[in-house]
Amino acid sequence: MSLEDYFKRWFENYKKADLRESSIKMYQTTMMNINKYFNGITLSNLSTVKLQKSLDEFCLTHSLGSTRMLWAHIKASLIDAKVDRLVRFDTWSRVKPRAEKAKRIVSAISATEFKRFSDYLYENIDNDLNRLYLTALESGARLGEIQALTYSDFNFEKNTISISKSYSRAIQKVTDTKNTQSHRVLTMTDQYMNAIKPFVVRHQDIFAKPHPSTLARDLRETLNDVDIEYHNFHALRHSHASFLLHNGVSIQYVSKRLGHKNTKITLEVYAHMLTEEEKNQNDIALSALEFS
């Protein structure tokens, strides 16, 4: 049996029933990559060298994250193949994803730009995409999380919005959030809730779901109108976190507000911002200790 055929059978029997539609698409991508890069490998001729060579070929044109995901899928299937006694030996444990790890660049607008952009969006709140940008800027929610919001998710008495689902562009459906930690209730400002209230109507879509290219083009033009360098939509989430950290909000609160699994993830993403804040705190601490 070829590795590709076994993986397909393994996916159908052991994985598919427990996956969301968006995750199923990821496994289907893995199948295509096995066909392209691991073609000719069978369960009977498995070897560490063959697997490593094929994975190395894949990583030449893919990121470390993509390489790790592909290998995680294949490795999981091979472990089960050994359990099912379809292979006799472990030929996969020594195989390593060798792609270079890309530097994570966090793009965010400055605190001054944050205020200027926010003011502009409030002044032009009638535009449906501006409401999308404003919500991202003031909540830190992901694009899909915002697009999935419905009338029942807004509590105007408590000034909160509830994040419990996400719109997937890939399958054009509302699905569960990225993880259970992403389920959260966000307290919003009076200004935001009053501005958005006229547009929160029962049984109607609240936020637009434009094509990614349309969204990128409009955001570029909108930022240009307020003299801010272009940043992609996800940068609005980073800008929210950056603005809070800049104003002394604790990393624990920011992490919870963003829906991160733990503060370690938040620390990794915003380490450079926290380093700058640490220098400021260091100066304050030294000034406090100088009694003379």
Angle value at C-alpha 123, between 273 and 188, nearest 5 degrees = 50
Give the residues across from 155 on adjacent strands.
160
Tokens of 237: 């989430």
CA distance 90 to 213: 45
* Domain boundaries along the sequence of the chain: 3-83, 111-284
Question: Which pLDDT score, from 0 to 100, does residue 291 have?
Answer: 59
Angstrom distance (rounded) from CA 191 to CA 185 = 18
Query: DSSP 3-state assignment of 231?
Result: coil
How would you label 237-273 residue by residue, b for 16+ Cβ within 10 Å and e otherwise? Answer: bbbbbbbbbbeeeebeebbbbbbbeeeeebeebbeeb
In this structure, are residues 143 and 136 in contact, taking their beta carbons and an 8 Å threshold?
yes
- The residue ranges of the chain whose pLDDT is under 70 are 100-106, 178, 271-284, 291-292
Fold of the CATH domain 111-284 = hpI Integrase; Chain A (1.10.443)
CATH of 3-83, one of 1.10.150.130, 3.30.420.40, 3.40.50.720, 1.10.3720.10: 1.10.150.130
Residue 154 has a pLDDT of 97
Q: How much is the pLDDT for 277?
A: 56
